[in-house]
Structure 1
Amino acid sequence: MKELIFIFLVLIAAFLGYLLQLLTKSGAIAAIVVGVLINLGFGWRGLLLLGFFFTSSSLLSKYKKKQKQQIEARHEKGSTRDWQQVVANGGLPALFSVLFIIFPSPIFFIAFTITIASANSDTWASEIGSLSKRRPLSIQHFKQVEPGTSGAMSFLGTFAAIMGSFSIAIIAMLSYSLSFSTMFIIFVFGFLGNILDTLLGAFIQVTYRCPSCDMVVESKWHCNRKTVHISGNTIVNNDLVNLSSCALASLLGVLFFVTVAGG
């Protein structure tokens, strides 16, 4: 009965996300699948972590939205998440939840929490960092670039990334009664996920140039014209970068947990 109640809450949350234009129709369906799987594996505590990530990231995406309009113009997708964006951030947690059901090992719990911490870290960095009064610094050539450019970092964005990972680690520690060392592993590797996301965004993610407005964008079309490929791999978009950085961070975190921390 308890699980049915939480599944019902997942349905309500996805429906509200759709009504509030936080999720597309496909995004809402994907969110339901992700939420149900996480509920089956990690129960309400897992949903709490997922819910905090989704709620905080959604609110931050709407905060000072007008100020972010030019930044969003660079991105392939807006703040309303489709199924690919939901899977990019929630697919791995759902997978680790299923693996935890089949093989109830703490390594899948560690991987689960690190992926959410990584996703939250990256989202907070992007949403808060884009409001910085100083232009971010590209880690590829160490020059200032326009806000919203993939592979760039700012002091405000980095601080937000740290707090984003730390918040998930703290909630996990309090809700699961984790040790400080386990919490610290989640925090460190969650933040590492943001660093990996920045690196992949700088050196691998595809970028294009709009022939009309000369803006560097992530989409194949801009200003109703086909853009020109200038760098990165054409199959590596932001969703794949998010998924890959979360996967790498969780893998490294689990390896550290098993070999060094003695998990």
Structure 2
Amino acid sequence: MLDIQLVVAVLFILVISFVGWKMKSLTGSGAIGAIVVGLSIYLGFSIQGLLLLGCFFVSSSLLSKFQSVKKSNLHDILEKGDRRDIVQVLANGGVPAILSLVQATGQSFGQVVLLGFCISIAAANADTWASEIGTLSKQNPRLLLTFKKVERGTSGAVSLLGTCAAVVGSAFIAIGAGLLFSLSWYPIALVILFGFIGNLLDTLLGQTIQVKYICTVCGKLTEKQNHCHNRGLKMKKFSFLNNDGVNFLSIALATMLGLIILS
């Protein structure tokens, strides 16, 4: 017998992925990654999980297009553009997908895995909102550890606007999770807190271990290894993660911290 809910879920995943590709929010590989993540989340958390993922994907895609002209200079700094490829999709959606597959095993975890799932999406959303909105700040951001002013878009830097956006972005997912999964105020508050912590961890890791290069031609600090048609100089000897690695690690760490508190 045909499972109507499964058909609806698959169609939802395919449509969202296709629209993301058509809107140039996803590359072809990114759309495939979105399908994989979406199916994994459906297996663990059904339609509610997909809708929460949709809240992240739709809001982040719209924000990436918001005042895109003012963000055009960031392409000179960032390693990748605003179209997410499969690596970027998995960097943001990998932890929620893994937790969904754990949930799909049918073992009894209470609300622990569910809240970890919600935290992971809240952390991804907080970081995305902070990046997309924070770069529109009229003031240059400051590095988290040294408070030195740097160019907008620099990983490891924070601004008041971006920090506020991170809190709101985390709360947006937490409230959505509360409505979809009938959560009480306490777990909602935990999701907001650890979602925001995920953004702070992303900023900290972005300043300390994310790979950055100094262009040997123009002297610009950038995430791109090649700039001005020349190979840049690695800024820190012990930096080893690109932005995708930092995103995945910060989401994973925030989720683990949340799970430790909950367990």
State the TM-score bracket (shorter-chain normalisation). over 0.9
User: Structure 1 residue 88 and structure 2 residue 88: aligned?
Assistant: no
Among candidates 9, 27, 49, match of residue 6 of structure 1:
9
Q: Which moved more, 1:237-246 or 1:138-147?
A: 138-147
Q: How far apart are the structure 1 equivalents of 2:237 and 2:176? A: 36
Tell me how many residue pairs correspond in the alignment: 258
Superposed structure 1 runs of 4+ greater than 4 Å apart: none
Q: What is the TM-score when the length of structure 2 is the normalising length?
A: 0.95
Deviations 1:69-111, CA, capped at 9 Å, x for gaps = 1122201000000000000000110110000011341221111
Aligned with residue 74 of structure 1, among 57, 72, 77: 77
Q: Which amino acid aligns with 1:249?
A: A
Question: Contact conserved, 1:204 with 1:232, CA < 8 A, in 2?
Answer: no
Tell me whether 1:173 sits opposite 2:206 in the alignment.
no
Please report how far the alpha carbon of residue 9 of structure 1 lies from its aligned counterpart in structure 2 after TM superposition.
1.4
Identity %: 47
Q: Does 221-230 or 22-31 show the bigger shift?
A: 221-230
Deviates more, 1:148-157 or 1:226-235: 226-235
- Please give the secondary structure, in 1, of the residue aligned with 2:235: strand
**Aligned pair 1:20/2:16, yes or no?**
no
SS in 2 for 1:231: coil
Is residue 53 of structure 2 the alignment partner of residue 50 of structure 1?
Answer: yes
Q: 2:225 matched to which residue of 1?
A: 220
Q: TM-score, normalised by structure 1?
A: 0.95
Specify every segment of 5 or more residues in structure 2 that has no aligned partner in the other structure, as ranges: none
Measured in 1, the distance between the counterparts of 2:19 and 2:237 equals: 36
Out of 115, 121, 141, the residue aligned to residue 120 of structure 2 is 115
Q: Counterpart of 1:99?
A: 102
Query: Structure 2 residue aligned with 1:252, among 248, 257, 262?
Result: 257
1:234 Cα deviation after fit: 4.9
Equivalent residue for 1:156? 161
1:23 aligned partner, one-letter code: L
CA contact (8 A) 1:203 1:232 kept: no
On the 8 A contact 1:207/1:232 being kept in 2, the answer is no
Question: Which of 116, 119, 130 is residue 125 of structure 1 equivalent to?
Answer: 130
Q: Unpaired segments of 5 or more residues in structure 1?
A: 259-263
**Quick check: 1:205–1:232 contact (8 Å CA) kept in 2?**
no
